[in-house]
Amino acid sequence: MIKNFFPNKIALITLVSACFIVFATMGLRQTFGLFSNDFEVDCGISTTEFGLAIAIHAIVWGIFTPIAGRFADKHGGSIITLFALIFYGIGVFLLGKNFNTGAWFQINLGLLVGLGLAGAAGPIIASQVTKHFPNQSRSKAAGLVTACGGLGMFVFPIASRFFMSETTWQNTFVIFSIFLLLMCIPAYLMKRPQAENSDNNKKSNDNVMPVLKESFAHSGFRLLVLGFFVCGFQITLVATHVPRYVQDRGLEDWAAFAILSLIGLFNIFGTLLMGYLGDKYSKKILLSGLYFLRAISMLVFILLPASNITAIAFGISFGILWLATVPATNGIVAQIFGTKNLTMLFGIVFLSHQIGSFLGAYLGGLFYDIFGSFDYAWYLAIILSIVATLLHLPIDEKPIIRREATI
């Protein structure tokens, strides 16, 4: 069964390498919110400033993902991912070496980490992997990669707590930076698919305008762009501000570590399940249901009295729904347009996700500093979830029929 799943050895090596990379890049990103109090106490970073840095790296991540995706579509993603890991590692290293105040804080956590994520995080890596697989297996392949990101999200908060108890938070960042740079080894092993295994091995056209025109003319693509904005707003709001939120509601700091770790752990099951279901059922219906369940999870969490039980329940429920959007969203893009320009097209969808991430991180911090509460940010996230539920229903998932083979 495993042998039948992998079209060839290159697909196997690329998928395994991708899993190691997203384990590190997505896992580390899950921990930044856990250091917000340390940045405030030791560096004088306010909640708004911290949210702004996360917002900057989110928007940099989003802007450069389509650019990196276009390069990866034409030349392969290994070089892009190598440079991205170096940027990411340098940014994290400098955060642990007292370059963590004022403009340096925004440059390191905002710009450098954002550039790193643009070329070495889940979306662009998953798109490179799915190019190796036929349509009926793409959601599973993307789900496996995303699940490894979820495993990292489970492990890294636990590792953070361990290292912070054994040494300083600054040294913890240095340790993580070294681990990131080690991921250059699997990045080097990632390869482009063989031409005969691509479902669109026609001669490449350097002009991106026909590709963009075709995609944005499709109403389903526009709806995916809008829907993924909501995903970005929600997960970045949670990852950035839940640690402060649960402490403000009277819970101990371990509850924040528990929530983020449980989100990572159960994200594994959620993405694998969505990958499996996405290859069997309508992806747009699955996405609509997912966003609706997110609204329910958030609403119950903020309305029930704060307790360790509600914190754990939220970590589990939201974890199942965390990045389960990725296999289905990526799968719809590939299903409609093919895989030839998949990395760039999904990068464009992901840019919308990161605009949402920018607002989720920044508005969460801004609302807190103005109103002394994250409640308004939660209410907005719930409303957006209902909107996303409705947005995905009209999407036409059928592959487009091209008159010319130039795109």
Tell me the pLDDT tens digit for each residue of 25-62.
Answer: 999 988 998 898 889 888 888 888 998 998 898 889 88
Q: Is residue 226 part of a domain?
A: yes
> What is the CB neighbour count within 10 angstroms for residue 72?
27
Average pLDDT score over residue span 273-296: 90
DSSP state of 197: G
Q: Which amino acid is at 239?
A: A
pLDDT at 102 over 70: yes
Q: Tell me the range of 44-53, 348-357, 375-384 where mean pLDDT is highest.
A: 375-384
Average pLDDT score over residue span 69-79: 78
What CATH number does the domain containing 349 carry? Answer: 1.20.1250.20
Q: Is residue 1 part of a domain?
A: no
Q: Tell me the range of 128-137, 258-267, 398-407 where mean pLDDT is highest.
A: 258-267
Q: Is residue 3 part of a domain?
A: no
Query: Domain span at residue 248?
Result: 10-391
pLDDT at 188 over 50: yes
Quote the pLDDT of residue 196. Answer: 37
- pLDDT band with cut points at 50, 70 and 90 for residue 402: low
Average pLDDT score over residue span 68-91: 86
Q: Domain count of the chain? A: 1
Q: Is residue 30 part of a domain?
A: yes
Quote the pLDDT of residue 199. Answer: 45
Q: Is residue 246 part of a domain?
A: yes
The per-residue pLDDT for range 216-233, each reduced to its tens digit, is 888 889 999 999 999 999
The per-residue pLDDT for range 298-342, each reduced to its tens digit, is 999 999 999 999 999 999 999 999 888 888 888 888 888 887 777
Quote the pLDDT of residue 404. Answer: 54
Quote the pLDDT of residue 237. Answer: 93
Quote the pLDDT of residue 3. Answer: 56
Q: Is residue 197 part of a domain?
A: yes
The mean pLDDT of the chain is 86
Q: Is residue 2 part of a domain?
A: no
**What percent of the chain has pLDDT above 70?**
92
Average pLDDT score over residue span 285-299: 95
Q: Tell me the C-alpha distance between 113 and 101, whole Å.
A: 15
Q: Is residue 182 part of a domain?
A: yes
Instruction: Give the range among 123-127, 293-297, 325-329 with minimum mean pLDDT.
Output: 123-127
